[in-house]
């Protein structure tokens, strides 16, 4: 494994005085993952940006300091106000900025063409969050700039998911890049969490039924192949699996077969997300060799920004506005029936997230006696207090980044050659468009090592004309 050396570590504070005080978080900020989520981008800067070497560092630090003024909550610190509720202390303590050097070349890390499995060094390109520290001392934002021997660089940012979701994260990075290029702020963040009734009492009992229960994890005793699926061996690997536009089109054709009769469309065609998520779900069932009667669930992340009618969320709402809902079925029927069946279960889960569902779910969470049952804090902290059943065999999470503005993040030295998640927790995946814009996609998948090769085989071989 090539060596990555940490060269320096800075604290970057807002360039100007900012509002200080306590910011109440919404219930949606405090469920699911409430630790840090990393992203990483790779660049090939032109030669004039590399001399002197500190040019890129100074540009990033100075623009980060300025962007933390309008985005001042990111310079604060989280702290517990009860056993299951967090609050954001806007105290201008700043973000952490790390410089590092790698002995590798850029092409040795991100690969070429189709699928690739990131080498072990990949994880050393991401800033480390020291969870042994008291929670209220952890920076909300950590940045790592790594230089490669070829002149390429990586820029990794890890940020607390209790403060932002994917949409807000990309909003922040986009504005940061714009300031680095000398442009003014385009869309100020809306920092008022009361848009999702943060700190307010429930409006009343929830009007709908809400359940976040996942099927029980498969144990060694239940597995048809004990040696292959030893529950005590949970080593996972991260793979980036590429699908060309023709493969995506074939999958959509497979999913939508039978939806037209007599030349008329009988239902709305399945989307790229519904199709790809269904394909990933079925391949996982096959790779894990689940018994036909085994229940399995797919975690679907739904953005409520476009689904709320009453009290529309303001433009630039900065915080979590996402819901995790579950598509479920039996492994046997998912595998034996056409792809459209799995896609239909996913659509049913997504379509329940409407205006009434959003406000009812918020009331449900407000009235729940212990939000810890919905928090996966223990995933990284190994806390026995966390009860959230994160995604493992027989379950899986599939998050779509297909509609997010991932690319074109130019800090002044050109656009990235690759951007994606820095890591994936549990057994989950992200769907991303390729930066080429030609309709090809990447599935960033984390799965047990014992199942990965089988998954890859099904992932490509199950696509038929």
Burial letters 271-305, b for 16+ CB under 10 A, else e: bbbbbbbbbbbbbbbbbbbbeeebebbbbbbbbbe
Catalytic choice (107, 249, 355, 410):
410
**Residues 187, 189, 190: CA angle, nearest 5 degrees:** 120
Query: Rounded to whole angstroms, how far apart are CA atoms 425 and 169?
Result: 18
Query: Rounded to whole angstroms, how far apart are CA atoms 53 and 94?
Result: 24
Catalytic choice (161, 171, 451, 458):
161
**136: annotated active-site residue:** no
Query: Rounded to whole angstroms, how far apart are CA atoms 187 and 204?
Result: 34
Give the count of alpha carbons within 13 A of 54, CB side only: 5
Query: Rounded to whole angstroms, how far apart are CA atoms 265 and 250?
Result: 18
Query: Rounded to whole angstroms, how far apart are CA atoms 379 and 373?
Result: 13
Segments of 270-336 assigned E as strands? 295-303, 322-330
CA–chain centroid gap for 336, Å, is: 30
Query: Rounded to whole angstroms, how far apart are CA atoms 201 and 71?
Result: 27
The three-class DSSP label of residue 248 is helix
**171: annotated active-site residue:** no
308-316: long-range contacts at Cβ-Cβ below 8 A with a sequence spacing of 24 or more?
308/355, 308/358, 308/359, 309/355, 310/355, 310/359, 311/195, 313/195, 313/196, 314/190, 314/192, 314/195, 315/187, 315/190, 316/171, 316/187, 316/188, 316/189, 316/190
Q: Which residues are catalytic?
A: 161, 410
């Amino acid at each position: 494994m090539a060596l990555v050396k940490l060269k320096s570590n800075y604290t970057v504070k807002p360039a100007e005085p900012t509002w200080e005080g306590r910011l109440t978080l919404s219930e949606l900020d405090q469920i699911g993952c409430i630790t840090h989520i990393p992203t990483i981008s790779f660049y090939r800067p032109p030669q004039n940006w590399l001399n002197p070497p500190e040019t890129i560092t100074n540009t990033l630090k100075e623009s980060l300091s300025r962007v933390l003024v309008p985005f001042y909550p990111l310079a604060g610190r989280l702290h517990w106000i009860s056993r299951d509720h967090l609050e954001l202390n806007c105290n201008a303590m700043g973000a952490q900025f790390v410089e590092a050097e790698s002995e590798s070349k850029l092409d040795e890390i991100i690969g070429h063409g189709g699928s690739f499995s990131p080498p072990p060094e990949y994880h050393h390109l991401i800033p480390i969050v020291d969870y042994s520290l008291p929670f209220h001392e952890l920076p909300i934002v950590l940045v790592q700039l790594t230089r490669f021997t070829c002149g390429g660089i990586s820029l990794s940012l890890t940020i607390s998911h209790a403060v932002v979701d994917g949409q807000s994260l990309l909003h922040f990075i986009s504005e940061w890049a714009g300031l680095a290029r000398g442009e003014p702020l385009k869309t100020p963040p809306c920092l008022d969490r009361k848009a999702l009734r943060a700190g307010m009492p429930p409006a009343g009992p929830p009007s709908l039924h809400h359940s976040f229960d996942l099927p029980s994890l498969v144990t060694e005793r239940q597995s048809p192949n004990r040696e292959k699926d030893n529950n005590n061996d949970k080593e996972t690997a991260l793979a980036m699996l590429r699908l060309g536009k023709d493969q995506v089109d074939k999958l959509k054709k497979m999913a939508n077969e039978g939806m037209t009769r007599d030349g008329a469309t009988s239902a709305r065609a399945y989307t790229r997300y519904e199709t790809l998520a269904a394909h990933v779900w079925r391949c996982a069932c096959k790779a894990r060799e689940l018994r036909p009667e085994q229940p399995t669930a797919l975690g679907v992340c739904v953005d409520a920004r476009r689904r709320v009618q009453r009290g529309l969320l303001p433009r630039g709402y900065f915080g979590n506005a996402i819901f995790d809902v579950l598509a479920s079925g039996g492994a046997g029927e998912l595998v034996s029936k056409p792809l459209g069946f799995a896609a239909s279960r996913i659509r049913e889960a997504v379509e329940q997230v409407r205006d009434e569902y959003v406000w009812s779910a918020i009331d449900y969470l407000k009235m729940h006696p212990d939000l810890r049952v919905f928090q996966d804090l223990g995933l990284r902290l190994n806390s026995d207090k966390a009860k959230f059943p994160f995604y493992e065999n027989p379950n899986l999470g599939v998050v779509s980044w297909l509609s997010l503005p991932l690319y074109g993040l130019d800090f002044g030295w050109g656009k990235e050659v690759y951007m994606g998640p820095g890591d994936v927790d549990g057994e989950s995946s992200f769907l991303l468009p390729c930066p080429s814009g030609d309709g090809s996609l990447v599935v960033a998948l984390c799965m047990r090592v014992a199942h990965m090769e089988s998954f890859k085989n099904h992932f490509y071989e199950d696509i038929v004309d």
